[in-house]
């Protein structure tokens, strides 16, 4: 059981009033949140310091991910002035993974997250006619079903409850979202922040029965999704079919919350092709695919970050060639994380698998 702030208003309004209170009383210096940038409902992330602006424009629960907010938080932290961030569970996990890699800090960040119904693909959401889509979305997630309009990986996401948030807000599976606001405080930090805020405080938690029901549906959906990428033909042909379309733009790694390297190994001169190399290869093969090394890049990236993949789906969303990148990375990432009993974003103290060793493990290796 946790302490829960109860406000007799819609969840969005209640949360914004709470944040306004924190801003006015100088407990935080600003809020990172989604906000609408025009009347058509198009949303972007913004860091807002003015309480009036916050109340007017913030859309904290908009089902869209213009960028993975963990990347933004990396540029906002470490900070000496406390800030609040309203982000999705996978964005929070992504940020925790970044903090482990020294790309930001959780100090002075009040993380607010919510049970997430998934996000609508970017180009669908950021079009002028999204109003009905969004209304329908919020109607569906009052129940336990995931809307059809969301990303494929969101439909199959089993970690829709934030793992390390200071404040958790029930949105998905909460049918009283329009009339009632509960802010579940998971940390001392959050309780301290809410001290002077005039509200009712009760002892409560997420409805475990509803959460279990959602989880059951998501798990079933995941099995279906993973079957679509499981190899129907011999592995290599399948791989060529899937990644053969790759144009080598490396957009997937640009938007990836885990790929933080300023210079990606695969963009460095280590893997430059010159005419000698090409001639050498052409002497063995009848033709050469250009640009080269697209499959090499994907396999290499899997080696570098798959165990930390939070399955946010951003890579698939931006892929101009329509490759199901995220589905493949999520599936493979889960397989890899499993052998190390690792869950990305579970705990900031949990060291990433390649940075730590155990003397006794994998006895089958080495013979």
Write out the residues near other proteins by the rule CB under 8 A. 230-231, 234-240, 244, 265, 281, 284-289, 295-296, 299-300, 302-303, 306-307, 328, 331-332, 335-336, 339-340, 353-354, 357-359, 361-362, 365-367
Is 81 or 245 the residue whose CB approaches other proteins more closely?
245
Is 158 or 293 the residue whose CB approaches other proteins more closely?
293
Q: Distance between CA atoms of 140 and 147, rounded to whole angstroms? A: 6
Whose tokens are 């904290």? That residue is: 60
Is 38 or 269 the residue whose CB approaches other proteins more closely?
269
Is 25 or 232 the residue whose CB approaches other proteins more closely?
232
* Least CB distance to other proteins at residue 158 (A): 17
Q: Which helix (H) or strand (E) holds 200?
A: strand 200-204
Is 8 or 335 the residue whose CB approaches other proteins more closely?
335
Q: Distance between CA atoms of 256 and 305, rounded to whole angstroms? A: 10
Q: Distance between CA atoms of 36 and 55, rounded to whole angstroms? A: 11
Whose tokens are 């009040």? That residue is: 110
* Least CB distance to other proteins at residue 352 (A): 10
> How many CB atoms are closer than 10 A to CB 212?
10
Is 55 or 352 the residue whose CB approaches other proteins more closely?
352
* Least CB distance to other proteins at residue 216 (A): 24
Please, is 101 exposed, middle or buried when counting C-beta atoms within 10 Å of its C-beta (0-12, 13-18, 19+)?
Answer: middle
Is 235 or 322 the residue whose CB approaches other proteins more closely?
235
Instruction: Please list the alpha-helical segments (H only) found in 194-274.
Output: 208-229, 235-243, 251-254
Is 27 or 222 the residue whose CB approaches other proteins more closely?
222
* Least CB distance to other proteins at residue 262 (A): 18
Three-class secondary structure of residue 289 per DSSP? coil
* Least CB distance to other proteins at residue 267 (A): 13
Distance linking the first and last C-alpha atoms of the chain: 50
Backbone angles phi, psi at 75, to 5 degrees: -85, -15
Buried b / exposed e over 314-352, threshold 16 CB at 10 Å, is: bbbbbbeeebbbbbbbbbbbbebbeeeebbbbeeeebeb
User: How many CA atoms lie within 13 Å of 206's alpha carbon, on the beta-carbon side?
Assistant: 25
Please name every residue paired with 181 in a beta bridge, in sequence order, or none if there are none: 7
* Least CB distance to other proteins at residue 152 (A): 18
* Least CB distance to other proteins at residue 218 (A): 20
* Least CB distance to other proteins at residue 287 (A): 4
């Amino acid at each position: 059981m946790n302490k829960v702030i109860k406000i007799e208003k819609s969840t969005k309004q209640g949360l914004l009033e709470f944040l306004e209170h924190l801003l006015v009383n100088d407990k935080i210096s600003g809020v990172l949140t989604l906000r609408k940038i025009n009347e058509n409902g198009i949303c972007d992330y913004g860091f807002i310091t003015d309480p009036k602006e916050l109340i007017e424009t913030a859309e904290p629960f908009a089902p869209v991910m213009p960028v993975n907010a963990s990347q933004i938080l990396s540029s906002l932290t470490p900070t000496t002035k406390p800030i609040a961030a309203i982000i999705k569970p996978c964005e929070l996990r992504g940020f925790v993974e970044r903090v482990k890699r020294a790309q930001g800090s959780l100090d002075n960040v009040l993380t607010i997250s919510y049970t997430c119904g998934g996000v609508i693909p970017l180009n669908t959401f950021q079009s002028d006619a999204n109003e009905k889509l969004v209304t329908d979305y919020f109607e569906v997630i009052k129940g336990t079903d995931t809307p059809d309009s969301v990303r494929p990986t969101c439909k199959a996401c089993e970690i829709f409850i934030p793992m390390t948030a200071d404040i958790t807000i029930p949105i998905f599976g909460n049918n009283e979202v329009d009339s009632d606001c509960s802010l579940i405080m998971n940390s001392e930090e959050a309780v301290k922040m809410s001290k002077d805020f005039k509200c009712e405080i009760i002892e409560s938690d997420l409805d475990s029965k509803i959460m279990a029901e959602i989880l059951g549906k998501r798990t079933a959906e995941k099995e279906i999704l993973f079957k679509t990428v499981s190899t129907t033909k011999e592995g290599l042909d399948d791989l060529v079919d899937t990644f053969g379309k790759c144009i080598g733009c490396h957009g997937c790694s640009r938007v990836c919350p885990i790929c933080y390297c300023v210079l990606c190994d695969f963009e460095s001169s280590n893997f430059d092709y010159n005419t000698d190399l090409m001639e050498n290869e052409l002497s063995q093969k009848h033709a050469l695919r250009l640009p080269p090394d697209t499959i090499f890049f994907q396999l290499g990236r899997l080696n570098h970050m798959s165990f930390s993949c939070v399955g946010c789906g951003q890579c698939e969303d931006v892929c101009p060639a329509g490759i199901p990148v995220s589905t493949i990375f999520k599936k493979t990432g889960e397989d890899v994380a499993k052998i190390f009993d690792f869950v990305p974003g579970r705990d900031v103290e949990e060291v990433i698998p390649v940075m730590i060793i155990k003397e006794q493990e994998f006895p089958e290796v080495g013979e």
